[in-house]
Homo-oligomer: A and B are copies of this chain.
Amino acid sequence: MIEYRRDAADIYARSFAIIRAEADLSRIPADLEKLAVRVAHACGMPDVIDDLVFSPGAGAAGRAALAAGAPVLCDCRMVEMGITRSRLPANNDVICTLNDPAVPELARQIDNTRSAAAVDLWRPRLAGAVVAIGNAPTALFRLLELLDAGAPRPALILGFPVGFVGAAESKAALAEDSRGVPFVVVRGRRGGSAMVGAAVNALATERE
């Protein structure tokens, strides 16, 4: 018999307590405290909290949108799977258009990635939505282009694309000018589906 903790609620509680003991949360507003803790939990790195950049009231905006039934628009299916449906307050739709059959041809037409083309298909659901980008920098860049071209504004952009080409740049572009849309990003190369799913899960309910 190996000795280890086997109670899920106990494991969660201890994890969050460790993060709160180790992380510097002094800079994080109350409406993003649980989001910051959950994002750190998702990646095992309390210092990721130091890299969160956000607009004032972003957490409140996301909570209100979800409570009002806003859909969650995801850039990949891993993000979709990272969102705990039972936490969502209004049986909210969780939408990923990446595998829509129109995407490959649309990507060719706009000369961009499939992840970017999938964002074009968000348009009918974009107004007031919670956007959760956890993979593709091109999805975030494309969303900014669509907003510049007059697309409806989402309620919140959670910008967590990850990687070495465009990730830091796309998040910096959003943080510098979010086109009036509330946002949370983790600056730099870090990010990912688990982190942005955790961010949505934190905004979905106060329950830890």
A154 at the interface (CB under 8 A from B): no
Measured in the bound complex, the distance between the Cα atoms of B162 and A197 in whole Å is 15
| Central interface residue in A78, A148, A170, A190, by most chain B CB within 10 Å | A78
| Central interface residue in A164, A166, A197, by most chain B CB within 10 Å | A164
A18-B164, A78-B82, A81-B76 given; A45·B4 CB < 8 A: no
Let me know if A145 and B1 touch, CB within 8 A.
Answer: yes
A77 at the interface (CB under 8 A from B): yes
A41 nearest CB neighbor, chain B only:
B163
Interface string of A1-24 (1 = CB under 8 A from B): 110111110010011001100000
| Central interface residue in A5, A141, A191, by most chain B CB within 10 Å | A5
A170 nearest CB neighbor, chain B only:
B4
Stretch at the interface among A27-35, A60-68, A106-114: A106-114
Let me know if B145 and A190 touch, CB within 8 A.
Answer: no
Let me know if A11 and B113 touch, CB within 8 A.
Answer: yes
Let me know if B164 and A41 touch, CB within 8 A.
Answer: yes
Contact pick for A44, options B42, B82, B164, B193, CB 8 Å: B164
Tally of contact residues, A, Cβ under 8 A: 51
Let me know if A45 and B163 touch, CB within 8 A.
Answer: no
Let me know if A43 and B192 touch, CB within 8 A.
Answer: yes
CB distance from A181 to the nearest CB of B (A): 15
| Central interface residue in A76, A169, A192, by most chain B CB within 10 Å | A192
Measured in the bound complex, the distance between the Cα atoms of B144 and A191 in whole Å is 30
Residues of B within 8 A of A192 (CB): 42-44, 192, 194
